Amino acid sequence: MNGTIFDIKEMAVHDGPGIRTTVFFKGCPLGCVWCHNPEGLSIKPQLMYKSKNCTNCGKCRIKCEHPECEPFGRCIHICPENCLSISGREISAKGLAKEIIPTAQILGDGFGGFTFSGGEPLMQSDFLLELINELKNYHLCIETCGFCDSNTFKKVIEKLDFIIMDIKLADNGLHQKYTGVGNGQILENYEILRASGKPYIIRTPLISGITDTKENLDAIQKIIDDSKWEKLPENTMAGAKYNMLGLEFPLKKTKQP
Ligand code: SF4
Ligand code: SF4
């Protein structure tokens, strides 16, 4: 079956053990106000436009024959300033496996593998399971927000070698406010992960005044007990891609007085 991805990153060193090739799945059920991959939120391909380089020459408005340009009413390929691109492409699980398996030659013997990230890979769980099956001879890792039904979560993690899961906010109300969903399902899936015996690490992005408070970090520590825990520094460049999608960076809005 086909899925939608928006990036493939080779030689990744922060996406699981060793050197990895990371595939970014499009679509996420959360909407964290600090999200630094806004092009991963919608499952559909999106037009990205660098307005600061645009000279208003009008060339992209001329009708073209490229099927991928049609939904956007602009020719993506003609721009002399490289202002336009499409984030997201559909690909079959077999086709994607064929594309990324050659990168395994540089991953090293047993010291790397493939990582599924996003967006949220579990949002395309059937496609993900098919891809996992195509890559079953490799070390496989997921970066997940943990938000999906428990059966799907179980089915996927039992086929993986390493799981990186976020717990962003311990308080359900604050989780709802800053990510758009409550954390009940995520915490249920965390318990499943803990009981699974799979190697895993919990991650928390440290967002100033939201997730980095003493109350939140103490409460997460209580939930995860002795689990391995990585706290990620805030990505201060996160706002730049919102402009290219014609969106406002929600964290900026949240922090306005
Ligand atoms: S072709 Fe490029 S530079 Fe010209 S109007 Fe379109 S986006 Fe702007
Ligand atoms: S879970 Fe990750 S990809 Fe989804 S909105 Fe939050 S930060 Fe963005």
Same domain, yes or no: 126 and 160: yes
Q: 81 and 59 share a domain? A: yes
Does residue 169 have its Cβ closer than 6 Å to ligand 2?
A: no
Task: Determine the distance separating the centroid of ligand 2 and the alpha carbon of 34, expressed in angstroms.
Answer: 8
Question: How far, in Å, CA of 119 to CA of 177, rounded?
Answer: 19
Helices 125-134 and 150-157 pack at an angle, to 10 degrees, of: 10
Question: What values do phi and psi take at 191, rounded to 5?
Answer: -65, -40
123 in any annotated domain: yes
Distance of alpha carbon 89 from alpha carbon 107, whole angstroms: 25
Tokens representing 174 are 């604050």
Q: Are residue 196 and residue 171 in the same domain, yes or no?
A: yes
Let me know whether 18 and 54 are in one domain. Answer: no
Same domain, 196 and 114: yes
Q: What gap in Å lies between CA 147 and CA 17, rounded to an integer?
A: 23
Which residues make Cβ contacts (< 8 Å) with residue 161, sequence separation at least 6?
A: 113, 139, 140, 141, 198, 199
Question: What pLDDT shows up at residue 50?
Answer: 93
Is 257 within the bounds of a domain?
A: no
**Do 134 and 68 reside in the same domain of the chain?**
no
**Same-domain pairing of 55 and 26:** no
Which pTM does this prediction carry? 0.94
* Confidence (pLDDT) at 110: 58
Ligand 2 binding pocket includes 28 (Cβ within 6 Å): yes
Tell me the two tokens of residue 20.
């990895």
- Same domain, yes or no: 226 and 178: yes
53 and 40 within one domain: no
> Is residue 242 very low, low, confident or very high in pLDDT (cuts 50, 70, 90)?
very high
Domain count, the chain: 2
* Range in 111-120, 217-226, 231-240 with the lowest mean pLDDT: 231-240
Assess whether pLDDT exceeds 80 at residue 241: yes
Is the same domain home to 16 and 59? no
Token pair of 215 as six digits: 């109350």
Ligand 2 closest atom vs CA 145: 1
The CB of 39 under 6 Å from ligand 2? The reply is no
Residue 140 backbone dihedrals phi, psi, to 5 degrees: -120, 135
Whether 256 is in a domain gets the answer: no
| Within-domain flag for 115 | yes
Per the domain annotation, does 202 fall within a domain?
A: yes
State the average pLDDT for the chain. 94
What is the tens place of the pLDDT at every residue in 97-115? 999 999 887 666 656 899 9
Q: Summarize pLDDT for 161-175 with one digit per residue, the tens.
A: 999 999 999 999 999
Torsion angle of C-alpha atoms 246, 250, 252, 257, degrees rounded to 10: 130
Mean pLDDT of 117-122: 97
Tokens found for residue 122? 């579990």
CATH number, domain of 22, equals: 3.20.20.70
Residue ID of nearest Cα to ligand 2 atom 6 = 32
| Same-domain status, 153 and 56 | no
Q: Is residue 160 part of a domain?
A: yes
Residue 254 has pLDDT above 90, yes or no: no
Name the percent of the chain lying above pLDDT 90. Answer: 89
Interstrand relation of 200-205 and 84-87 (parallel, antiparallel or unpaired): unpaired
CA pair distance 177, 42, nearest whole angstrom: 19
> Which range marks the domain in which residue 156 is found?
2-44+90-249
On whether both 80 and 144 belong to a single domain, the answer is no
Looking at all shown ligands, the one closest to residue 121's CA atom is: 2
SS3 (DSSP) at 110: coil
Ligand 2: which atom is nearest the Cα of residue 166? 1
